[in-house]
Amino acid sequence: MPRFWCGIDWSENLNDVAVVDEHGEMVAHIRVEATPEVVSEVLALLRGLRSSHRHSRTQVPVAIETPHGLLVAALRAKRQPVVVINPSSVARYRGRVSPARKKSNRTDAVLLANILRTDGTLHRAMPRTSEQAAAITVLARAQRRAVHTRQYHANQVRSLLREFYPAALLAWQDLPGGIVRAEARAVLALAPTPSLAAVLRKRAIADTIAGAGRVRLVDDHAERLRCVFQQHHLRQPPDVEAAMGEQVKAAVGLLDQACTAVDQLTLATTDAFRAHPHAPLYASFPGCGPIIGAGLLGELGDDPDRFTVRGLRAYAGAAPLTWESSSSRTVTHRRIANHNLKALGHNWAFTSLTRSPGCRAHYDRRREKGDRYAAALRNLYGRLLSGLHYCLKNGVSYRDEVAFPPRCD
């Protein structure tokens, strides 16, 4: 029975759709937009490739270079198999077709289809992730980006304060969060320059930090801040100081918005994660709180057949990479991986050290064998991932004595 393969070269406005047969010849080509009517047209094209009751459009895999977008979502909603091929891989395949590596939308669509025709066994269709897990993916990644944005604005404020307002840096340098704290942002909004801060009364400071949420030792903290602000420091000229104060107000306003976004997304991510049926299994692991758990679930999905243990560790960047040629052999850490998952794994392994005797003992053994800090954490992360794969497959919770049995050496 003839087989067909489809490739879609996507863009912001138009998408080229090409279908090839078992000989690699293009049998159909259309250029479409991402609209409901066009999606129905694409599905009808795939359905009508062969007039036989044995032919179904779901037998035609679709290759595309992105896992995102409305067109991909619409195809997956109709249960059409979609295979995502990395753009860097497509660029290498392009050299097989033409030494000049010429590129056009139509030829790229044909190239994508032919990649599936010749090397389809090397590429897997997108996993069958539930809508609930897909929503957690969106929220977890948005929360992570919001944290990075908050840190960016905090660095901007700190850099500005160093130029003319050292007392503001000294005031909260020993407290968790520093100038990101709500009380610090409130005081900076009240007194954005050293001259305004130096004349603040204790009562005004106390009311400000209490309004920002501080409930313990308010008067003591207000007195400490008043003393810090009244200390003698180098100053900018008055007009320059006033101008930089306006800049501080604007920067603190942006930092306030970033902190609010982090709080909102953290709450939404936590709620979505706890509502997922896999959440108790993730939460049973040491160091895996709602944010790390949501990040792991969002990147891994909830398709039980998506990964093998080795595949999971490679995808997460926890498996070593071996380069071997003739008599030379080099083992190094894997750089091509899901970078979101790799960063999460570092944090997860680090937080588990103080929450699991087994994790701590395993990390110490790796260090004694000569592993550096990051390598020991990667090895521990790989062990935790193997345990997570087992627990998800079998529906059991984590047990420290099973994951890290006592050693007799």
Report yes or no: 73 and 82 within 8 Å, Cβ to Cβ. no
**Two tokens at 299?**
């990147």
Residue length of the chain = 409
- For the chain (length 409 residues), average pLDDT per consecutive 10? 84 89 91 86 90 85 91 91 92 79 85 92 90 95 96 96 93 91 94 93 93 91 93 91 95 96 97 96 95 95 90 91 82 86 94 94 94 93 94 93 81
**What secondary structure does DSSP assign to 324-378, as a single string?**
EETTEEEEE---SS-HHHHHHHHHHHHHHTTT-HHHHHHHHHHHHTT--HHHHHH
Q: How many beta carbons lie within 10 A of that of residue 8, not counting itself? A: 25
Residue 409 lies in a domain: no
Distances 126 to 33, 60, 82, 385 between C-alpha atoms, Å? 22, 14, 6, 21
Residue 408 lies in a domain: no
Domains contained in the chain, number: 3
141 and 248 inside one domain = yes
361 and 376 inside one domain = yes
Q: Examine the fold and report which residue of 272, 289, 324 is the final residue of a domain before the chain moves on.
A: 272
Q: Examine the fold and report which residue of 126, 161, 178 is the final residue of a domain before the chain moves on.
A: 126
Residue 370 lies in a domain: yes
Q: Examine the fold and report which residue of 244, 272, 300 is the final residue of a domain before the chain moves on.
A: 272
Residue 66 three-state SS: coil
**Which structural domain, as residue segments, surrounds residue 68?**
5-126
Burial of 218 per CB tally in 10 Å (0-12, 13-18, 19+): middle
Pick from 148, 138, 132, 235: nearest CA to 193? 235
157 and 179 inside one domain = yes
264 and 155 inside one domain = yes
283 and 237 inside one domain = no
**Two tokens at 295?**
């990040």
152 and 266 inside one domain = yes
144 and 247 inside one domain = yes
Phi–psi pair at 64, nearest 5 degrees: -150, 160
263 and 157 inside one domain = yes
